[in-house]
Structure 1
């Protein structure tokens, strides 16, 4: 057989796929995930945060904890959508987006540590709920499954824009991370739209916004 022969791709059983998702979930909630891209804020130098007061550090940490929870949810949501996606191109697109969300997850975790803080205690709950939501979304017609992704990213963009206004002016490290996150989310939204995302019917976007508000208000502190 020549080197140009087509390779047969092994298909994983549902049980093997489930085990893989459990392993991915443990990586996310345990904080052992690794970023594929360097931190947009660069290497940490403690002198960079000397201009921040203790109140500003606590506020930055609260905002970055919210962002970290958002990435936990995005990771679970996209993996849930991909788990039962009907078409392979859609599954691949969702998994590629999920991989970039891992970078965001790691960067937020690093920034929280730099600020002397921690991730949310509720991360396992948010992951499980978001994965289940992704499964439900993927059972709808594909245009709405992609529409769910596009609407999620649209709301995340607005959320990150708000954080850029709220972050202390001196906190350039957090700001650089949030800017890169926002740029990636815009790219994900446009990708979903190019693949045929449909606008979600009311009241789904409003319910998504309400759920997001509950998540952000609790994870800022817990």
Structure 2
């Protein structure tokens, strides 16, 4: 029998090793638990309590790659104003840029939410981005306002139904019924109006 050439044998061994090694995908990576992280709930929610910081995290998670501060400021300004990136004004972009540069990005970098190279103006997901991701709201944006409007409309309808007891109380001069119904109507109208206008 003829011996197998050395190069072919090494190639075969490498192919066998690659076949046996399990492939690791992004979905296989487990999200770290807060208990195992070097930051606590206070720091975690300190970052997440600000809407602009949540938008930064959401944008970086969506893109999954390094971005410039200019790109990030434009994207966040567009999300905040509800405009396309090409439609935002230089003033809107500058307002977001300054806030990110001076306040939000350094704080997020300190807690490991992002990796921020300030001299180069480059931002990418950080050491603990996955930890923050688990607490981000999945449905932000226009759907939230539609849901709020739905509940506000429902509250206004309920308010209208309570007007009937007020009218009945006024006609029959039943003071306690009139006072309770008026308080309920006033409360519902106030809450519904505030939620609807948000």
TM-score by length of 1: 0.24
Which of structures 1 and 2 has the larger relative contact order (alpha carbons within 8 angstroms, sep 6+)? 1
TM-score by length of 2: 0.26
Considering only CA atoms, is the larger Rg found in Structure 1 or Structure 2? 2
| More strand by percentage | 2
